[in-house]
Amino acid sequence: MGRNRPVPGERVFMAMVEVSQVRKIYQRDTQAITVLDGIDFQVPEGEFVALMGPSGSGKTTLLNLVAGIDRATSGMVRVAGQDLSTLSEGALARWRSHNVGFIFQFYNLIPVLTALENVELPLLLERLSKKQRRERALTALKIVGLSDRAQHYPRQLSGGQEQRVAIARAIVSDPKVLVADEPTGDLDAKSAEEILTLMETLNRDFRKTIVMVTHDPRAAQRAKRRLHLDKGVLQA
């Protein structure tokens, strides 16, 4: 796992995520619903940002745009130096596999695969031998403290453990950016603490840029910066 530590003389705070004048409009029959309206913000490399706001405020939609799994109606989304609107579907998929790790609220592990196989899944897209894939997946599991559960299936793990496996899957390709959609939303307080601590570690020790959606103020407190979204508009 690459530790993207800054070296002397290197510009530390380049914008890892740059969102400029982004609008997202959904068409429901004849009705146009504006979910995001003129969003502007930047996330420097190595920052940990929490996106907050009430339900329906557009948090997850904005996160999806940053993760490259949805496209803006207008405006620009640049992540890790790449303007996502210029990429084709195939190129965007390749870009995601190298640059973004996604952490879901409900973990979304594949139930028929073991923890190790789940973590290994993104590596199937890389030109790696089976042995290399196994080694990297085990390393990721070790980072999240679950190397002893490598052969366990999701149903044999607790919610917190499942989320840690999901985090291992998100970091196994060594992406620059981690996006997390309510990563503690389905967990008890203790497990949520553990997950947030792990995310802090990934941000601090591995210099991962993290954008996290949450409406839990305690979770948001662990981020370095908080952005508030309401009715599709960023609040000052």
Partner 1 sequence: MRYLPYILKHLRRHWLRSLLTVLAMTFCIFVFCVLQTFLAAVQQNLEAGDSRRLVTRNAVSLVFNLPITYKERIAGVEGVERVAAQNWFGGARKAGDFKDFFPNLAVEAEPYLEMSPEYILTEDQKRAWLEDQSGCILGPATAERFGWKVGDRFQLESFIPPYRVGKPFEFTIRAIYATDEKRFPGTDKTVMFFHRKYLDEATAHRVGVGTYVTQIADPARAGTISREIDALFENSERQTHTETEQAFRASFIAMAGNLALLLNSIGLAVIFVILLVTANTMSMAVRERRTEMGVLKTLGFSSGKVMGLVLAEAGLLGALGGAIGIFFSTGMIQALPHLPFIGDAVRGIADFGLPASVALTGFSLALGIGLIAGLAPAVAAYRASITDLLRQV
With binding defined as CB under 8 A, does residue 104 bind partner 1?
Answer: yes
With binding defined as CB under 8 A, does residue 32 bind partner 1?
Answer: no
Residue 124 beta carbon to partner 1: minimum distance, rounded to whole angstroms: 6
With binding defined as CB under 8 A, does residue 154 bind partner 1?
Answer: no
With binding defined as CB under 8 A, does residue 70 bind partner 1?
Answer: yes
Footprint (CB under 8 A) of partner 1, residues 117-146: 117, 121-122, 124-125, 130
DSSP-assigned states of every residue in the chain: -------TTS----EEEEEEEEEEEEEETTEEEEEEEEEEEEEETT-EEEEE--TTSSHHHHHHHHHTSS--SEEEEEETTEEGGGS-HHHHHHHHHHHEEEE-TT----TTS-HHHHHHGGGGGSS--HHHHHHHHHHHHHHTT-GGGTT--GGGS-HHHHHHHHHHHHHTT--SEEEEESTTTTS-HHHHHHHHHHHHHHHHHS--EEEEE---HHHHHTSSEEEEEETTEEE-
Residue 169 beta carbon to partner 1: minimum distance, rounded to whole angstroms: 7
Q: x-or-dash pattern for partner 1, window 166-185, by CB under 8 A? A: ---x---x------------
Of 33-41, 114-122, 190-198, 220-228, which segment contacts partner 1 by CB under 8 A? 114-122
With binding defined as CB under 8 A, does residue 64 bind partner 1?
Answer: yes
Residue 93 beta carbon to partner 1: minimum distance, rounded to whole angstroms: 4
Of 38-46, 104-112, 134-142, 217-225, which segment contacts partner 1 by CB under 8 A? 104-112
Environment class of residue 217 by beta-carbon count within 10 Å: exposed (0-12), middle (13-18) or buried (19+)? exposed
With binding defined as CB under 8 A, does residue 2 bind partner 1?
Answer: no
Q: Where do contacts with partner 1 occur on this chain (CB under 8 A)?
A: 64, 67, 69-70, 89-90, 93-98, 102, 104, 106, 108, 110-113, 117, 121-122, 124-125, 130, 169, 173
